[in-house]
Structure 1
Amino acid sequence: MRERLFSLSHLDELRDLTFDTFNSRGRIGLGQQQQDSIERAYNQAQAFAETLSGWLLIRGSYGSGKTHLAASIANACVSRGVPTLFLTVPDLLDTLRFTYDAEEVSFEERFDQIRNASLLVLDDFGTQSATAWAQEKLFQILNYRYINQMPVVITTNLALEEIEGRMRSRLSDPELVTHVYIHAPDYRRPVVDTGQHELSSLQNHSNQTFGTFSDRKGEKLQPVDAKTLEEAFQAAREFAEDPQGWLVLMGPFGSGKTHLAAAIANYRASQGYPVMYVVVPDLLDHLRATFNPASAVSYDRRFEEIRAAQLLVLDDLGTQAMTPWVREKLYQLFNHRYNAALPTVITTADREAEIDSRLYARMLDRRLCTVKKITVPAYRGRGARRPPKR
């Protein structure tokens, strides 16, 4: 049995993926929180390999180290003689399909081998074909192991709400399943010293901080307008200290929206937290470029990096041409972050009526979103500067 599972697993091709070869603090240039998340995942994986108790769900974006940790668990268990099956989910389903025509083993025998393996490691959960047959076979395997409390390791780049309902319910059981999330970029792609993603344009806004934001008291603004600026500033400061939910900054061009959004991002980055700051038209250009066959990165990977960002700042929503493709991509991005309640900052010069209704509906949810409307006229560089501290 053990030899058959090892042959199915192709673990000989992953023999170099062990705990000893895993960098538990990540590569140079990552932020403190990114390093901490990698170390937590590493420690959880080691603990699971020793006890084989319950299930371990490892989530993170492409290239964050999920497969390395899953293979490390599998290799450690194989070295102790534990019958272990390590498969990507697409390979698992292919293995089952091929047994329909196989002479040496029946479908029932192969299915039984898989669901009864002492340890089952499923890599790349969610990349499989979502046919009814595939979903049913996966559920049968997971449900069998759930009922019998058999150890499982699963890696995925999906959010829980994207997983089929029956399987999601099993993965949501806190008494059985340990969840770890790796907040790290693809190790194959560049990262600057602050730990920011290559897509982020935050470096272009390095001088836009809370300390350099003008309170414009020397401009004799209308009191009602000045109050909107002060309230937006305070909301931005509070969000920077503890990013929760969404912060939407609305107002005309030059009113200070971008400065406040960049100030939030710069503050978080200075504390060692990963931030993705993107101008929406530039973001859409990046996504379109990934459709090019010559692109070094797939569209799916790039989109996942953006929508799963720990803190995402979207500047200038509404300045892009709203083609059907653009509307759909923005909706997918907004909907994912809305459902997952991921911290997001949005700036827009559009009025409510000009924003796509599906996006605006998310912004109106006061349980998640704080909306600040700035009504001051465009800043011309006059007026007192706000001191760095409150």
Structure 2
Amino acid sequence: MLLKRRLSFAELPESLKDVTLETFTINAYENPKSKDTARKACEGIKYYLKNFNSLKTAGMGLYIHSNTKGSGKTRMAASVANHIMQNTTLQARFATSTRIITEIQSIWDDKTGTQSVSKLLNDLSRISVLIIDDFGTEIHKAWVEEKFYQIINERYINNLPTIFTSNCRLEQLKYDDRITNRIEEKTFQIAFPEESVNLPTIFTSNCRLEQLKYDDRITNRIEEKTFQIAFPEESVRKAIKRKNHEELIENITK
């Protein structure tokens, strides 16, 4: 029950609440180079988790990066958070960088005051383990940079681990050295594959697969990765209308 409450407080997306490193599959990637990169990433993260008790004392976190969206970075960060909460008494908190900024803006818009913003920043600065997802995708403004600096610097000073995912390598971030230097010092940089993980795709079509006018590059991949389900060759509306008509005739002739 306590673990369930901690997982709920972590605010992980529903689809990521049960993911683990053990269920992360390298075979989700098609490119051999991607598989190799994913394998090395898993090895690095396993080392981090195996030695977490000593590494957290120094405030060491992770910076998981890949320029490609959908490469599995968020899922891996959630797996790390779940592992930590299941194997330690530490509390984790998950938030996208955009959500952090949106929450700050909404507090300002509601005119709830500087005190509420300070509480939000303090909560993020003091949580045992913070996961910031999609770092670097938020709109870059001076005040945004300042708020992230407050969070990152406070965690840096207090040796609290932060796990980042990003579509940028560290040197590609548009933030100044105050932020990037602290991230570099307090994280292991883990490269993820430059390949989007294949996710299930559902197609509906008025054509059988062989009737599609696309070339074999497309149809072959659809054929390989889908179950083809045939539906009746009759409009539902027409079927209902026909059934109603038959029932009407039956009632008249009784």
Q: TM-score range by the shorter chain?
A: 0.5 to 0.7
Aligned with 2:99 (options 282, 293, 302):
282
Seen in structure 2, the aligned counterparts of structure 1 residues 194 and 318 have a Cα distance that, compared at 3 Å, is same
Q: Which amino acid aligns with 1:363?
A: I
Task: Please state which structure has a larger fraction of its residues in strand.
Answer: 1
Partner secondary structure for residue 338 of structure 1? helix
Q: How many residues end up aligned between the 2 structures?
A: 188
Shift of 1:325: 1.1
Shift of 1:221: 1.6
Partner secondary structure for residue 347 of structure 1? strand
Cα RMSD, aligned residues only: 2.5
Verify the 8 A CA contact 1:221 1:376 in the aligned structure 2: no
Listed one character per residue, the Cα deviations across residues 314-356 of structure 1 (whole Å, up to 9, x for unaligned) are: 1100111011111111111111112222111001002423331
Matched, 1:255 2:71: yes
Which runs of 5 or more structure 1 residues have no equivalent in the other structure?
A: 1-28, 32-191, 383-390
Partner secondary structure for residue 326 of structure 1? helix
What is the alpha-carbon distance in structure 1 between the residues aligned to residue 49 and residue 41 of structure 2? 12
Matched ranges for 1:104-143 at <5 A = none
Aligned with 1:356 (options 160, 175, 179):
175
Listed one character per residue, the Cα deviations across residues 251-293 of structure 1 (whole Å, up to 9, x for unaligned) are: 0212221111000111122235311011110111122223323
Verify the 8 A CA contact 1:281 1:320 in the aligned structure 2: yes
Verify the 8 A CA contact 1:256 1:379 in the aligned structure 2: yes
TM-score by length of 2: 0.65
Q: Percent identity?
A: 21
Listed one character per residue, the Cα deviations across residues 292-328 of structure 1 (whole Å, up to 9, x for unaligned) are: 2358x81111211111110001110011101111111
Partner secondary structure for residue 313 of structure 1? strand
Matched, 1:232 2:41: yes
What is the alpha-carbon distance in structure 2 between the residues aligned to residue 286 and residue 363 of structure 1? 23
1:327 corresponds to: 145
Task: Please state which structure has a larger fraction of its residues in helix.
Answer: 2
What is the alpha-carbon distance in structure 2 between the residues aligned to residue 231 and residue 206 of structure 1? 24
Seen in structure 2, the aligned counterparts of structure 1 residues 339 and 330 have a Cα distance that, compared at 3 Å, is same
What is the alpha-carbon distance in structure 2 between the residues aligned to residue 203 and residue 268 of structure 1? 18
2:85 corresponds to: 269
Aligned with 2:17 (options 201, 206, 210):
206
Verify the 8 A CA contact 2:140 2:174 in the aligned structure 1: no
Seen in structure 2, the aligned counterparts of structure 1 residues 286 and 204 have a Cα distance that, compared at 3 Å, is farther
Give the number of the structure with larger relative contact order, counting CA–CA contacts within 8 Å between residues 6 or more apart.
2
1:47 corresponds to: none
Q: Which runs of 4+ in 1 moved over 6 A?
A: none
Partner secondary structure for residue 337 of structure 1? helix
